[in-house]
Amino acid sequence: MKVLVSDSLAEDGVKRLQSGADVDVITNLSPEELIQKIPDYDALVIRSGTKVTADVINAAKRLKVIGRAGVGIDNVDVEAATKKGIIVLNTPGGNTISAAEHTIAMMLALARNIPQANSALHQGEWNRKKYTGVEFFNKTLGVVGLGRVGAEVATRMKSFGMRILAYDPFVTEEKAQQMGLTLANLETVLREGDFITVHTPLTNETRNLIDDDEFKIMKDGVRIVNCARGGIINEAALAKAVAEGKVAGAAVDVFTKEPPTGNPLLGQERIITTPHLGASTAEAQVNVALAVADQILAIAKGGLPTNAINMPAISPETLAVMEPYMMLAERMGSLLGQMVGSGFESLELIYSGTIAEKDTRPVTISAIRGLLGCLMGKDSINFVNATTTLKEMGVKLLESKTESINGYSNAITMKLTKNGVINMVQGTVSGNKEKRIVQLDLYRTYIPTEGDMVIAVIDDKPNIIGPCCVVLGEGNINIGSMHVGRMDEGQPQLMVLSVDQMVPDDLMKRLLQVPGVKSAKMVEL
Ligand SMILES: NC(=O)c1ccc[n+]([C@@H]2O[C@H](COP(=O)([O-])OP(=O)(O)OC[C@H]3O[C@@H](n4cnc5c(N)ncnc54)[C@H](O)[C@@H]3O)[C@@H](O)[C@H]2O)c1
Ligand SMILES: O=C(O)[C@H](O)COP(=O)(O)O
């Protein structure tokens, strides 16, 4: 695997990567330079400095993974990466403590005017009155976003004797209680906070979460901290609120454009700033660098990352249990795809028996991968883009689980609807992990889950199977196994012939001309 590291990464991480990959560290690339270089690489390792735009992603030829040494992936066009089947992963947790400590450092600096006083004193000014600060004790801290960093800030700030009010629509009352924190709605947090700190990701929902209207409902003299992402608090609105004295001061580590140029937050004495230093500690940098390197090396060895953004997180334990079902589902999807062809409108998966109790997400993705891979090329559909591609094709995906088992301890049933006609396949995994396809449409059957085969529907009459075998024999095609079954006497039969090699088109045409052969398809699983 060839890896490009395009932002500064701790040496330990670079060394770890070098233990299993060919690594180039080239920082400060311009967008054009990155576009020029990216076709040569299988993996790209970044921090917040590199913008991985759709143009970069589309210029990539063999890129399999974008690894973010850190948390925020707002500098990556994840949608474009997903469409191309590129894994985007990050390393949450590695820099949480550093980000929380930096937030608290900024809050202390803000409360006690430390940067301003320091700089004045260096310039010879001894002014104790001007830099009088405020205490945390008995004040209210409003925390917006109670995830990893928000929670660490909140719990630490309790020790200063602060009352904590937190807003996070995705955190349960129970979790807040466990942390000894009070949840409130955004308006209450903004109205009652003496200090307000934001810790959400930057999303379309959180962009400008705090704007002119939100400043209006805050207390006069409130202090604001943003060590999360530039843009969660509207920069112009914050600069104005500070200039007008509504906000007593602000501490900002992150900006909408970095490095910030012409930013309204720069140049006001009561706004203290740092150049995105939240994660810049020796410890955090080693943590995130090793975490990103390990995930990339796992992918290089054919494994799965632990923190992919655009595919379901599957533990190695789950993967070991689900692997036979995933393989079965992929083959079933491929079988249906080859039998039915493109143009289907919906795919339904029904999980029955013991598999219904398990996490079936990887199985569903495998089924889609098999279905689309046989039609669009196996290389173009992978674990990352399978579901998105199906959705983009306008195919409806339905999944359900049932306890009913119909003779098997577990079963996967796939139904593909094309022009209103439902085509169905069912498979099961036995106790010794043997995978079997046991039903195709209305026929109970036995279809091997790998190899080449001819699947034909024939009349329930004598002297059809023999001539079919003669046709194959004349083409020097060896039959490895045969399964014939019918629904009822006199009803058409399903004939599955495993063959040692692909049957050429001319021979398939001759098979279709055998009297009594209603359909015949060459399938490769
Ligand atoms: N300055 C730095 O160097 C630095 C370092 C680490 C993290 N960060 C940033 O800090 C932020 C938090 O990181 P984290 O690791 O705690 O992430 P996280 O995913 O653990 O936490 C984010 C929290 O925000 C909540 N949230 C999402 N949308 C929300 C909304 N509309 N309103 C309120 N809450 C909402 C989520 O429920 C979640 O609990 C991110 O933006 C991250 O990029 C910055
Ligand atoms: O999202 C993050 O992890 C932080 O903002 C740190 O960013 P950095 O790796 O560029 O310092």
pLDDT tens-digit series, residues 375-406: 988 777 888 899 989 998 999 999 999 987 67
Q: Is the pLDDT of residue 141 over 80?
A: yes
Say yes or no: 233 and 294 in one domain: no
ipTM: 0.99
Confidence band for 432, pLDDT divided at 50, 70 and 90: confident
The CATH number linked to 501 is 3.30.70.260
Q: Which one of 412, 441, 470 terminates a domain? A: 441
Ligand 1, from 107, 197, 200: best to mutate by most atoms within 8 Å of Cβ?
A: 200
**96 Cα to the center of ligand 2, angstroms:** 10
Confidence band for 365, pLDDT divided at 50, 70 and 90: very high
**142 Cα to the center of ligand 1, angstroms:** 15
Q: Which residues pair with 166 in a beta bridge?
A: 143, 183
Q: Which one of 417, 441, 465 terminates a domain? A: 441
Say yes or no: 131 and 232 in one domain: yes
Average pLDDT over residues 493-516: 95
Q: Which 3-state string (H, E, C) describes 256-280?
A: CCCCCCCCCCCCCCCEEECCCCCCC
Dihedral sign from CA coordinates of 59, 65, 70, 74: positive
Shortest-distance atom of ligand 2 to CA 73 = 1
Q: How many CB atoms lie within 10 A of CB 491?
A: 11
Domain total in the chain: 4
Ligand 1, from 181, 199, 207, 274: best to mutate by most atoms within 8 Å of Cβ?
A: 199
Give residue-wise pLDDT tens across range 103-117.
999 999 999 999 999
On whether residue 324 sits in a domain, the answer given is: yes
Confidence band for 193, pLDDT divided at 50, 70 and 90: very high
pLDDT at 309: 87
Say yes or no: 211 and 84 in one domain: no
**149 Cα to the center of ligand 1, angstroms:** 7
Q: Which one of 273, 296, 326 terminates a domain? A: 273
**336 Cα to the center of ligand 1, angstroms:** 43
Average pLDDT over residues 137-165: 97
Percent of the chain predicted with pLDDT > 90: 84
Q: In sequence order, which residues have a C-beta less than 8 Å from that of residue 84 and are 6 or more positions away?
A: 57, 58, 60, 63, 385
Say yes or no: 109 and 249 in one domain: yes
Say yes or no: 366 and 480 in one domain: no
Ligand 1, from 74, 149, 175, 280: best to mutate by most atoms within 8 Å of Cβ?
A: 149
Say yes or no: 63 and 104 in one domain: no
Ligand with the closest atom to the CA of 149: 1
**473 Cα to the center of ligand 1, angstroms:** 66
Which protein residues touch ligand 1 with a CB less than 6 Å away? 71-72, 92, 95-96, 99, 144-150, 167-171, 199-202, 205-206, 227-229, 253-254, 276, 278-279
CB 80 within 8 A of CB 101: no
- Give the residue whose CA is nearest to atom 10 of ligand 2: 48
Confidence band for 321, pLDDT divided at 50, 70 and 90: confident
Q: Is the pLDDT of residue 459 over 80?
A: yes
Q: What one-character DSSP code corresponds to residue 524?
A: E
Shortest-distance atom of ligand 2 to CA 7 = 10
Average pLDDT over residues 211-236: 98
Average pLDDT over residues 214-229: 98
**162 Cα to the center of ligand 1, angstroms:** 21
Say yes or no: 126 and 249 in one domain: yes
On whether residue 403 sits in a domain, the answer given is: yes
Say yes or no: 413 and 476 in one domain: no
Say yes or no: 366 and 502 in one domain: no
The pair of structure tokens assigned to 13 is: 């991480």
Give residue-wise pLDDT tens across range 252-299.
999 999 999 999 999 999 999 999 999 999 999 999 999 999 999 999
**64 Cα to the center of ligand 2, angstroms:** 22
- Give the residue whose CA is nearest to atom 32 of ligand 1: 168
The residue to which tokens 């929670």 are assigned: 151
**49 Cα to the center of ligand 1, angstroms:** 18
Return d(Cα 271, Cα 247) in angstroms, integer: 10
On whether residue 446 sits in a domain, the answer given is: no
The CATH number linked to 432 is 3.30.1330.90
Q: Is the pLDDT of residue 311 over 90?
A: no
Look over the chain and give the mean of its residue pLDDT values, rounded to a whole number: 94
> What pTM does this model have?
0.80
- Give the residue whose CA is nearest to atom 12 of ligand 1: 199
Q: Which 3-state string (H, E, C) describes 112-179?
A: HCHHHHHHHHHCCCCCCCCCCCCCCCCCEEEEECCCHHHHHHHHHHHCCCCEEEEECCCCCHHHHHHC
The one-letter amino acid code at 292 reads V
Say yes or no: 125 and 262 in one domain: yes
Return d(Cα 226, Cα 236) in angstroms, integer: 14
| Structural domain boundaries enclosing 466 | 451-525
- Give the residue whose CA is nearest to atom 7 of ligand 2: 48
Ligand with the closest atom to the CA of 258: 2
- Give the residue whose CA is nearest to atom 11 of ligand 2: 279
Catalytic residue set: 229, 258, 276
Q: Is the pLDDT of residue 313 over 80?
A: no
Percent of the chain predicted with pLDDT > 70: 100
Say yes or no: 117 and 140 in one domain: yes
- Give the residue whose CA is nearest to atom 15 of ligand 1: 148
Say yes or no: 422 and 511 in one domain: no
pLDDT at 170: 83
On whether residue 465 sits in a domain, the answer given is: yes
Ligand 2, from 45, 52, 71, 90: best to mutate by most atoms within 8 Å of Cβ?
A: 71
On whether residue 194 sits in a domain, the answer given is: yes
Question: What SS3 state is found at 250?
Answer: strand
The CATH number linked to 185 is 3.40.50.720
Shortest-distance atom of ligand 2 to CA 228 = 5
On whether residue 515 sits in a domain, the answer given is: yes
- Give the residue whose CA is nearest to atom 37 of ligand 1: 170
pLDDT at 90: 94
Which protein residues touch ligand 2 with a CB less than 6 Å away? 47-49, 70-72, 95, 276, 278-280
**71 Cα to the center of ligand 2, angstroms:** 6
